[in-house]
Amino acid sequence: MKKVILSIAVIAALIVVSCKSDSKKETVKTNVKMDINSTTLSFGVRGNCAMCKKTIEKAANSVDGVNSATWDVDKKKINVSFNDHKTNLLSIYKAIAASGYDTEKVIGNENAYKSLPGCCKYDQEMIMNQTSEINTENHSNHAN
Ligand SMILES: [Cu+2]
């Protein structure tokens, strides 16, 4: 009889433990929901090669709130996913421009452009965002 009582007590303890872990799971779920604030957008960024890709993506990822950034060397275009409660598109444009690269809205910093490795000195007239029709806007009047 004692054994039965003991095993009931063990089962009860197990139920309590499993309930606790259930409530932990709920917290995790809530955190995942928070991440759904992320917006995914793409825009044109000029650049040449794999090294440009690294620099551009690093610049975009350095913005607090950016979850991921992938630059397409062929399309001259970046896909960014970011939390729109933490940052906005303009901050991402600015961060990339500060690293020396032209974006659709913010032109790359001249000094940073000059200090890019030779292979990365992209053509400042280059058409960016090559799959979309946004090419009607002309951003090619660079200072030099
Ligand atoms: Cu490059």
Query: Which residue ranges make up each domain of the chain?
Result: 38-120
Please say whether the structural domain 38-120 has been given the CATH code 3.40.630.10: no
Tell me if residue 135 falls in helix, strand or coil.
Answer: helix
Q: What pLDDT, on the 0 to 100 scale, is given for residue 129?
A: 85
pLDDT at 17 over 80: no
pLDDT digits (tens, 9 = 90+) for 35-91: 678 899 999 999 999 999 999 999 999 999 999 999 999 999 999 999 999 999 999
> What pLDDT score does 89 carry?
96
Determine the Cα–Cα distance for residues 90 and 106; give it in Å rounded to an integer: 8
Percent of the chain with pLDDT over 90: 62
CA of residue 104 to ligand 1 center, whole Å: 18
Residue 30: which pLDDT band, with cuts at 50, 70 and 90? very low
| Paired residues of 80 in beta bridges | 41, 69
- DSSP secondary structure of 118-129: GGG---TT---S
Please list all protein residues whose beta carbon sits less than 5 angstroms from ligand 1, which is an ion: 48-49, 51-52, 120
